[in-house]
Amino acid sequence: MRHGWLGRVILWIIFLAMLATPAVMRRRAAKAAAAEARGGSCQSALARYGFCFTEVSQQAGIHFVHQAPVLDAKLANIMPEVASMGASVSIVDFDRDGWPDIYVTNSATGSKNHLYRNNHDGTFTDVAEQMGVADVNQPGTGVSMGAVWGDYDNDGYEDLFLIKWGRPELFHNDQGRGFTRVTDAGLPQWINANTATWLDYDGDGKLDLFVGGYYPEDVDLWHLQNTRMMPNSFEYANNGGRKYLFHNLGNGHFEEVSAKVGIKSRRWALACAAADLEGSGYPDLFVANDYGVSELYINDHGHFHEAGEQTGVGFAPKSGMNAAFGDIFNQGRYAIYVSNISEEGVLIQGNNLWVPQDGKTLHYENLARDLGVELGGWSFGAQFGDLNNDGTLDLYLENGYISLSKTQSYWYDFSKVAGGNSSIISDAAHWPAFDGRSLSGYQEKKVWINDGAGKFNDVAQAVGVTDRYDGRSVALADLWNTGALDAVVANQRGPLLIYKNTVAPGNAWIEFALEGTKSNRSAIGAQVTLYWNGQQQVQSVMGGSGFASENDRRLHFGLGKNPKIEKAVIRWPSGAVQTLENLTPDRFVTVKEPQ
Amino acid sequence: MTQPAASVANSAAPPRPALWKRLLDSRFTPPFFITLILLIGNLSFGILESYQKTLLAIVAAMVTEMALGRIFLGKWPHPASAYITGISVGILLRSPAYWPYALCAALSITSKYALRVKGRHICNPSNFGICALLFLASESVAGLSIQWGNNMVSLIVIWVLGATILWRAKRFLTTATYVISFFLLALLRAHITGDPWLSEVSPITGPEYQLFMFFMITDPKTTLRSWKGQVAVAIAVAVVEMLLRLDQSIYAPLYALFLVGPPALLLEMFFDGRRRRKASPLPTLRPELAQ
């Protein structure tokens, strides 16, 4: 080698410097993370971030602990994995008293779901038994995986669709005094679903229902014919459950029209959400799929075409587990947040934040890394909401898959099988036994606050979100009508947590409660664009979003300090556009669609 | 007019092959094959996180190779080797950040110049770089975790193509030995752990192994010259990998090659030297610097 010993020395210095670089980068990252306060008091969080959470479930009278399903004994080796979902939470004002109530699902056979009525005094009372929506996990009917609420018969009261691995259930809300199971709605006998959303896809003023299958519908997880019911690929699985679009016929019956309107997929759907992403006036449908790419169904006046690849959101396959929409840049357009899996040193899929790009056609770019919301963990539910009322949407993310042993991990065995040939991965009998090990367990949650300048910073520990349960579903709601968004978290095999939000004085807010007339009465699909202080933010009333969850029907806007609201423009699903002026902050605004 | 000696010598040399023949130089075959895999994989299955990251790794590898080759060897090296290293890093490394791709590629190439014994580099460059990053920067990187249509047809196509290329490159024996060893040791592992045999076989049906056994373990510069040596190393890699797997090491094959490859090369050099010394009392000339 030329240049003798001096050259060698220089070469080795360069070489060693390269080897040391990861340590330097790690130190830099640790320093940046340390810059965000860990722990601390609510007072310091209020001073620093403008809000803090206090977990108040016990004080609120909620002592719910989720029970996981126990499936066919043939799956005993991987039971923690196949029975890892079912904890869900949805917000509904089922009795129309103006205060949000909470519905949570349970998933063990014979276990009961709970409907917590808001007592207006900081406490809740479980009225599920009394209302007839508790005992819904009876043997032979499957178990609950989630719930979405929508007034399908436009009588003014929110009805309940129960998402199950089993017999799907529709409950009619009898004017807030009880629920009646609808037996002749035209729903199938069995669906293994984890996601659903209400939407009026054809703009006829009646709510339709999309349901995304996970396991194939011919699989009874309690009575398996064989163990070949797992996905046939970790990234390209196409042997999941079918999709359903139930068109509301208006007489209490639904007609399944998915194939007719262009929805044909057997990917493993885990989350979905619908809003008018393209600006056509019709709701588009986004489906986050496990073991594969996401799908974006663009609505062409009641007929869908799948445009995932074309729009950029459906090319790189990951493990989609969430679908939430938020106008994060206050520019009148929705970004889409999809959660995936990231485990240090093993698998770094990274979550996706699909941000719409400028141009004539709808196209998204994943800016999760640039904005700082890429790495969560084994992520599930996430929701956008302005947690500190500063005028920009923040992001709350649940993480953690299976928390069992604190010392032993299943990751090695998981990675061994997950990357293999379809004939191996698709048969549960080929998977090594779990043996009490964890898989991405005991993970921290993320509460990312939006700095309004293109960055999100995680402040979860500082603002009081310190639990390490296996978070699944999160819903945001102003539970106590204070003008602040609280967070309700459903944990798999864990307690339901109520994080009460305290927002520092000074930042204003406004909330809209909409009611359709020509449009569906729940106003699902209605879009409010609020203009204040020279900026705008758009939000849509949704019939389900995140992972197995539904936020408060009311739309909450943070406004920052001393806001001057110019106007709010409401575009109703009927196509009617209504402009509200002379709005004042710190108010609940109830709006009925003009006749 | 008399021609200078060099010119006379040149005129006596065989004529330079045509450009198209030079382009079919066997050193271009592996880059061509790996590029094909990359493009087909990404266009069909989106295997890359982004083209930019892979491109960054390729550029970093080639720039480092050119610079170090020029400075330390006094010549512009053939780009094929660096290209393969860069593209291997681009495929095998997963990171949300950009810097690991550049660092890994540069580190891989630098290892060729820093870790040399008797003029020969002793570590497979991309194996060294990827292992170093997986070990030192586990919070920022992971190994390949994607699939390319994990059905039997795509598996057979890749294996047949890979085997054909290796046959041409006279490295088929290494891969065949490794594959047979892997399957046999999978049986043993299943017996020890009590896990299903197919779960132990599963990894070799995935893309990470396809790249590992077709490109990494067969690298001509860092494998032994004798066929017996190649067989022995392939078996040793499989055995060490088994031990690492019993310790639940996710990147067992990469680490196994990292642990077995360099000592095997050193042993070969040692025995070669001894053989040469026995065969000739004259001092041996320093071997040509390998790239």
Tens digits of residue pLDDT in B112-129: 999 988 888 899 999 999
The residue among A353, A417, A427 with the most chain B CBs within 10 A of its CB, best to mutate, is A417
pLDDT band for B88, please (50, 70, 90 cuts). confident
Q: How confident is the model at residue B286 (pLDDT cuts 50, 70, 90)?
A: very low
In 3D, which of B216, B242, B61 has the Cα closest to residue B144? Answer: B216
Among A195, A86, A188, which Cα is nearest to A136's? A86
Instruction: Look at B287 and A303; give whichever has higher pLDDT.
Output: A303
Would the pLDDT of A255 be above 90? yes
Given pLDDT bands bounded at 50, 70 and 90, which one contains residue A577? very high
Tokens 């032993």 sit on residue: A408
Please report the pLDDT score of residue B8 as a whole number: 39
Domain boundaries, chain B: 48-143, 147-270
Residue A145 CA to residue A193 CA, distance in Å, equals 7
Confidence of residue B223 (pLDDT cuts 50, 70, 90): confident
Among A282-286, A465-469, A522-526, B249-253, where is mean pLDDT lowest?
Answer: B249-253
Shortest CA gap B155–chain A (Å)? 8
List the one residue out of B229, B261, B272 whose CA is nearest residue B118: B272
pLDDT at position B140 over 90: no
CB A323 within 8 A of CB A272: yes
Structural tokens at position A562 = 């001393």
State residue B20's pLDDT score.
Answer: 59
- Please report the pLDDT score of residue A376 as a whole number: 95
Question: Which residue would you say has higher pLDDT here, B7 or B179?
Answer: B179
Whether A18 and B106 lie within 8 Å, measured CB to CB:
yes
Q: Is A201 helix (H, G, I), strand (E, B) or coil?
A: coil
Q: What is the pLDDT of residue B280?
A: 75
Q: SS3 breakdown of chain A: % helix, strand, coil, rounded to 5?
A: 15, 40, 50
Residue among B142, B196, B208 minimizing CB distance to A348:
B142
Supply the pLDDT for residue B19.
60
Contacts of residue B52 in chain A, CB cutoff 8 Å?
none
Of A2, A19, A26, the CB nearest to B72: A2
Question: What average pLDDT does this structure show over A529-541?
Answer: 97
> Are B68 and A375 inside 8 Å of each other by CB?
no
B132 → closest Cβ in A19, A346, A433: A19
Q: Are A558 and A330 in contact (CB under 8 A)?
A: no
Kindly indicate the confidence band of residue A258, based on its pLDDT and cuts at 50, 70 and 90: very high
In which band, very low, low, confident or very high, does the pLDDT at B2 lie, cut at 50, 70 and 90? very low
> What percent of chain A lies above the pLDDT cut of 70?
99
Q: What is the percent of chain A where pLDDT is above 90?
A: 91
Read off the tokens for A512.
């809209």
Q: Which residue of A has its CA nearest to B128?
A: A19
Q: Which residue has the tokens 């939407």?
A: A199
How far is CA A260 from each of CA A135, A302, A310, A594, B224, rounded to the nearest angstrom?
35, 10, 22, 33, 62
Average pLDDT estimate for A237-250: 96
Q: Which residue is closest to A372 within chain B, CA to CA?
A: B96
The DSSP code sequence of A350-395 is --EEEEEPSSSS--EEE-HHHHT-S--SBEEEEEEE-SS-SSS-EE
Minimum Cα–Cα distance from A314: chain B residue: B46
Q: What is the mean pLDDT of chain A?
A: 96
Please report, as a single letter, which amino acid is at residue B213.
M
Residues of A in contact with B106 (CB under 8 A): 18
**In the predicted model, is pLDDT for residue A164 greater than 60?**
yes
Q: What is the DSSP string of A218-249?
A: T--TTS-S-S--S-S-SSS---S--EEEEEE-
pLDDT at B169: 78
Question: What is the spatial distance between Cα A471 and Cα A486, in angstroms, rounded to a whole number?
Answer: 16
Across A486-508, average pLDDT: 98
Does B282 score more than 70 pLDDT?
no
Look at residue A64 and tell me whether its pLDDT is greater than 50.
yes
Lowest-pLDDT range, A70-74, A499-503, B135-139? Answer: B135-139
The better pLDDT of the pair B291, A291 is held by A291
Q: Is pLDDT above 60 for B261?
A: yes
Q: Residue A516: what pLDDT? A: 98
- For residue range A361-418, what is the model confidence (pLDDT) as tens digits? 999 999 999 999 999 999 999 999 999 999 999 999 999 999 999 999 999 999 999 8
Predicted pLDDT at A162: 98
B291 confidence band (pLDDT: 50, 70, 90):
very low
Q: How far apart are CA A121 and CA B45, in angstroms?
A: 54
pLDDT value of position B11: 44
- Are β-strands A254-256 and A243-248 bridged in parallel, bridged antiparallel, or unpaired? antiparallel
| Cβ contacts from A onto B, under 8 A | 165
Complex ipTM, two decimals? 0.86
Query: Does the structure show a pLDDT above 80 at A326?
Result: yes
Mean pLDDT of chain B: 83
